[in-house]
Structure formats: structure tokens, C-alpha cells
Amino acid sequence: MKISEIFQLNKSQYELDFVDIEIEKDLPLFLDPYFISKCEFSFAIDAHRTIESFFSYLLRMLRAGRIETAQELFSHLGETNEICLGLSRNKPAGNGMGPTDADKILKSLLGSKALETGIMEDIEDFRIFVPNVDKDKISDMTANIIKKHLIEYTQAQCKNWGIPLVSSVPI
């Protein structure tokens, strides 16, 4: 069941300013940090700044040999099942970027000439320079990095549509 149906908004996707997800399964859409960087509205501008800041800090930590700090950053980038975007066929339950993936990515980055030479500048560069990282993992990472912005946007949309918020839901 879609959000618009649950709250009886009686609007099509084209009339909504949010993705009308089905809460029981993933929608095969992805957050694209490159696309976000090219958009010129406040949500995208703020989200892009957060992505840039996170990735810049991550690269600084890797270049400085602060591997434990980089690992800690990566440990929070698993799949965000609550946004219902991705490739899970049934109820959202993807693996996102677990500890094994994080270690592989960090090892790939540490051994990469792209990191050493400064060619790698943006999170979307992972797809080019790190094996087995594609749009789904990039989307998962992006969702986690901009989660605060997604929560604030969701809260604003709930207010716009008169959808009650529940205080006991952890964010």
C-alpha cells in the first residue's frame, strides 16, 4: 500500500512532491548524489553540502592514515530500509553496505591510485574506482549521509498534507 493510499491523499504521484513509496516493498529507484549536486533547490543544495562534507572528511581521514576513523564513518552506511528504495524484491531487507563491504571498499580505496593522486573527489566516484559498488550501494550511502535532510523533508511533507507525526518513532 502506498503512502498516499494509507493517508487517503487522493493524489497521483504526479501531484505529490515526494516519492509515493509502497511501505511493504522497495521501489527500484535510487538516490543519485551527482543528480542531487546539479539541482538548484534548497533541499538538494543542503543535501549536497552534507554529502561533500562527509566525503571530504572521509578522504582526509584515509589520506592521513586514520583508518579507524574511516571505518567508523563507514559503519553507519548500511541500507536504510525505511526509505523503501532499492532492489529488494519483497519487504525491504537489503544488506546495503555491511562490515564486509565496508572493509573491502576501504581496502580498495587505500590501494587506489585515485585516492593517492586526488582523482577521487566525490562519492559517485566509488562506482568508477571501487569494484562491486553500483547505484544501489551509492544510494544507500547517500541516504545515510543525508538522513537528517530526508527526515526534515518528510516532517515538512507530513505537515503540508496533515499527516500526524508520532513522537515515539526513533529517527
Tell me: the pLDDT tens digits for 97-127?
556 666 777 777 777 777 777 777 777 777 7
Q: Within a domain: residue 166?
A: no
- Does the pLDDT of residue 149 top 90, yes or no? yes
Q: Within a domain: residue 165?
A: no
Q: Within a domain: residue 39?
A: yes
Q: What is this structure's pTM?
A: 0.84
Number of domains forming the structure of the chain? 1
Q: Within a domain: residue 168?
A: no
Q: Within a domain: residue 93?
A: yes
Percentage of the chain beyond pLDDT 90 is: 42
Distance (Å, whole) CA 142 – CA 50? 10
**Boundaries of domain holding 104:** 3-159
Q: Within a domain: residue 64?
A: yes
| CA max distance for the chain | 54
Q: Within a domain: residue 164?
A: no
